Amino acid sequence: MTTAVVAPFRFFSLQVVRTRRLGSSLVRVTFAGEDLRHFFSDGRDQSLSLFLPHPGQSVPAVPFELGDGWWQAWRELPDGVRAVMRSYTLRALRRDPDEIDIDFVLHTPAGPASAWASGAGAGDRVVLLGPALADNRAIRFRPPADTDLIVLWGDETALPAVASILESLPAGQRVRVWLEASDARNVQRLATAADAEVTWVVGESSVDALREARLPAAEHPYVWIAGESGCVKALRRHFVQERGVDRRRITFVGYWRQGMNEEQLRASE
């Protein structure tokens, strides 16, 4: 039985149902579990904390039974015991049966999460810290009602969020998208009813391509940028200083930082 932490979030005990390769370095893992009946999210870039076991462990070590004291107790566990925690974006939530999808980027050399995802199989167990309320603070994509142009930028770590955002947009909504792919085999066809133009940049940074792009005229643009922290900050400055976009209409999220793992990134914030 799971224990609520701080509303609107709680822990979920899940297991892998199936996996599917999406490209040369992308894999989708589908999870299920009785707890998912309590999982709710209306967000298109819903952030989740996933806890993974170390090799040789059948279950990740997360003392969530301690309620609000779980964090300190988890931090005090030995390095080789304490569950690996990584942040991911919800790709999809389905009912009947209750399932969620999370997309992983595989790296070489592999970190602990990449190594786990590359070998994941049905029945493997994880713990998830996710939303119990559909509208929660871990949702960042929130265009104002008067938005007449949406601009999206992301690297492969932001692809699940961008794909989900595009699926949610109504017909007629203008949106311009720039996405990076490390390999042409990772380029995906993204479904949307919106008036969307998607530009893929393969094997190199798309920051310069977006800086040089000519955007449609708009009175009330909204910009969402996510991925490597340095690129995100550079693009935010570009939109504010060079394109004159109101900083309050820019959502920017650093999913990772070059040369740092997630533990180091969290410690630097």
Q: What is the mean pLDDT of the chain?
A: 92
Q: Which amino acid is at 253?
A: V
Continuous H helices in the chain: 70-75, 112-118, 159-168, 207-212, 229-237, 262-268
Residue in the structure block whose two tokens are 């009602």: 145
Radius of gyration of the chain (CA): 19
Q: What integer is the mean pLDDT of 192-213?
A: 94
For domain 9-131, the question of CATH label 2.40.30.10 is answered with: yes
pLDDT for position 149: 98
pLDDT for position 262: 57
Choose which CATH entry (3.40.50.80, 1.10.3210.10, 3.40.50.1390, 1.10.10.10) describes domain 149-256: 3.40.50.80
**Integer Cα distance of 31 and 14 in angstroms:** 6
Q: pTM for this structure?
A: 0.90
Contact criterion met (CB below 8 Å) for 222 and 151: yes
Q: What integer is the mean pLDDT of 233-253?
A: 97
Q: Which residue intervals of the chain bear CATH 3.40.50.80?
A: 149-256
Phi, psi angle pair for 90, to nearest 5°: -65, 125
Q: Which residue intervals of the chain bear CATH 2.40.30.10?
A: 9-131
Predicted confidence (pLDDT) per residue in 138-164, tens digit: 999 999 999 999 999 999 999 999 999
43: confidence class by pLDDT, cuts 50, 70, 90: confident
Quick one: DSSP state of residue 53? P
108: confidence class by pLDDT, cuts 50, 70, 90: confident
pLDDT for position 213: 94
